[in-house]
Amino acid sequence: MLRLPPFSFLRARDVAEAAGLLAEHGDQAMLVAGGTDLVPKMKRGQLTPTLLVGVGHLAELGHVSASDRGVEIGAGVTLARVAADARLGAAYPGYVQAAASVSSPALRNAGTIGGNLCVDTRCNYYDMSFEWRQALGFCMKKDGDVCRVAPASTYCRAIASSDTAPVAIALGATVVLVGPGGQRRELAAADLYQDDGRCYLTKQPGEVVESLRLPPPGGWRSAYVKVRRRHAIDFPLGGAAVALATTGPIIEACRIVLTAVGPRPLDVSAAAEPLVGRPLAEVLGGDVGLLAEVAAAAVKPAKPLDNADLHYVWRKQMTRRAVEQAIRQAARQPAPHGAPAATFGADAAGGAKRG
């Protein structure tokens, strides 16, 4: 049986303590909530912390609360809970689709939305056992200094593999981070990521993702289409998140964010420009060419490489298709309306999630 290397485990009393422990122990410490990403990677020697700080049990990370400013979801809320939340589904259908598409039911029972935002980048030269990587020669993401899929690359080309991050970005969500002293900062979800598979998050080592804040849904439809081989278990091989705002029948704005085509979620909203000012009906049926043009432009900056399942050219083609499908899906939805506080009653404040 493949086993974990030794480490210490501390159950944090609160988020501030967790942040403090991270700051104190530097790269020797990591947070664990669900552990669904961390534990396999530790078994394979890809991540090698000597201290795990348990945060899955913290009540302060387990809330779903609504106000006029939108909905805040604690980082410790499980993907299963989000996937089953009808109110979230009505307000942020794309986000809930994404949460429901992660892996399998048991993993969604353990995996958290904070964990999915921070899920390690993936690469089939990297997501291998210590012995496998040693046999090939280590790569720059762990223990080595070259990129195995693109040897000339100066940075790591491991793939952003979060299903929920692209939707969060498309919805204009923000992420609340807590630092070691308990200080909070809020940054756009898009700014949580950077274009290097090794250092793919911009958060400081001592910072803990406390919550995700989704802005009021007012007017924004959203959809997520995931490219994968099997309907369960698999990580995305590509995918598109779309958020679409309308005034009456007219498209006011459209954001498109791709996943699994590079080291960070790729915001390609500029490609949606031709849709703005056009009637929804054109998207839904009339102008097939328009949608194809937008989708082609959207995937143009995507540069998938041969470090995931199936052929990278197919992955790009499929991502283009995912863009079209996501736009269509979003356009078909009824426009979300009403203030979120009305949709989410005071009872929305959830209890703690057991780790």
Partner 1 sequence: MSGAGEKQVVRLTVNGEDHELLVRPHATVLELLREDLRLTGTKHGCELGECGACTVLVDGQAQLSCLLLPGQVDGACLTTIEGLADGPVLHPLQRAFAALGGLQCGYCTPGMLLAAKALLDTNPTPSRQQIKEALAGNLCRCTGYAAIVDAVEAAALGAVEAAAQDAVEAAALGAVEAAARTPR
Partner 2 sequence: MTAVDTPVVPWTGVVGRPLPRVEAAAKVTGAIAYADDLQLPGMLFCKLLRSPHPHARVVSVDTTAARAMRGVVAVLTGHDLPTKYGIMPTCEDEQALEHEKVRFVGDPVAAVAAVDEETALAACRAIQVEYQPLAAVESIEDALAPPDGEPLHDYAGPGNVHRLAALEFGDVEAGFARADHVREDVFFFEGNTHLPMEQHSATAQASDGQVTLWSSTQNPHYVHRALAKVLGLPMGSVRVVAAPLGGGFGGKCDPFSHEIAVCKLALVTGRPVKCTLTREEVFYTHRGRHPTLMWVRTGVDREGHILAMHFRSVLDGGAYGSYGPASMLYTGALQPTTYRIPAYRFEGARVFTSKAPCGPKRGHGTPQPRFALEVHLDKIAEELGIDPVTLRRRNYVEPFTRTVNWLRVTSCGLQQITDRVLDASGYARRRRRLGHGMGFAVSSYMCGAGLSIYWNTLPHSQCVVTAGRGGVTVFCGATDIGQGSDSMLATVAAEELGLQPGAIRLVTGDTGLTPVDLGSYSSRVTFMAGNAAREAAAKLRQLLVEAVAEAEGRSPEQVQVRDARIGSLGFEEAVALAEERFGTLATHGSYTPPAGIGGRYKGAGVGPSPAYSYSAAVVELDADPVTGEIDVHKVWLAHDIGRAINELAVRGQVEGGVCMGLGEALMEAQAYRHGLVKQPSMLDYKSLTFLEMPDVETILVETVDPEGPYGAKEVGQGPLLPVIPAVVSAVHDALGVWVDEVPVTPDKVLRALEARARGRDARYGPKSFPVVPYPPLVKVAPPDAAAPTL
Report whether 118 contacts 201 (CB < 8 A). Answer: yes
Binding mask 106-135 for partner 1 (x = CB under 8 A): xx-xx-------------------------
Task: Provide, rounded to whole angstroms, the least separation between the CB of residue 293 and partner 2.
Answer: 16
Binding mask 53-82 for partner 1 (x = CB under 8 A): -x-xx----------------------x--
Give the one entry of partner 1, partner 2, none that residue 36 binds, where binding means its C-beta sits below a cut-off of 5 to 8 angstroms depending on kind. Answer: partner 1
The nearer residue to partner 2, 3 or 354, going by C-beta atoms, is 3
Verify binding: residue 152, partner 2, rule CB under 8 A. Answer: no
Burial readout 229-265 (b: 16 or more C-beta within 10 A, e: otherwise):
eeeeebbbbbbbbbbbbbeeeebebbbbbbbbbbbbb
Task: Provide, rounded to whole angstroms, the least separation between the CB of residue 114 and partner 2.
Answer: 22
Which residue from 15, 19, 20, 35 is in contact with partner 1, where contact means CB under 8 A? Answer: 35
Report whether 26 contacts 39 (CB < 8 A). Answer: no
Verify binding: residue 302, partner 1, rule CB under 8 A. Answer: no
Tokens of 182: 């308990």
The nearer residue to partner 1, 12 or 283, going by C-beta atoms, is 12
CA 277 to chain centre: 29
Verify binding: residue 8, partner 1, rule CB under 8 A. Answer: yes
Tokens of 22: 């991270």
Amino acid residing at 90: A
Please tell me what DSSP assigns to residue 126: T
Q: Which residue is it, tokens 């929804």?
A: 280
Give the one entry of partner 2, partner 1, none that residue 310 binds, where binding means its C-beta sits below a cut-off of 5 to 8 angstroms depending on kind. Answer: partner 2
Radius of gyration of the chain (CA): 20
Stretch that binds partner 2, among 24-32, 132-140, 152-160, 199-207 (CB under 8 A): 132-140
Burial readout 49-76 (b: 16 or more C-beta within 10 A, e: otherwise):
bebbbbbbebebbbbbbbeeebbbbbbb
Which residue from 9, 230, 248, 346 is in contact with partner 2, where contact means CB under 8 A? Answer: 230
Verify binding: residue 333, partner 2, rule CB under 8 A. Answer: no
Amino acid residing at 82: V
Which residues of this chain interact with partner 2, rule CB under 8 A? 1-3, 124, 127-129, 131-132, 134-136, 229-235, 309-311, 313-314, 317-318, 321
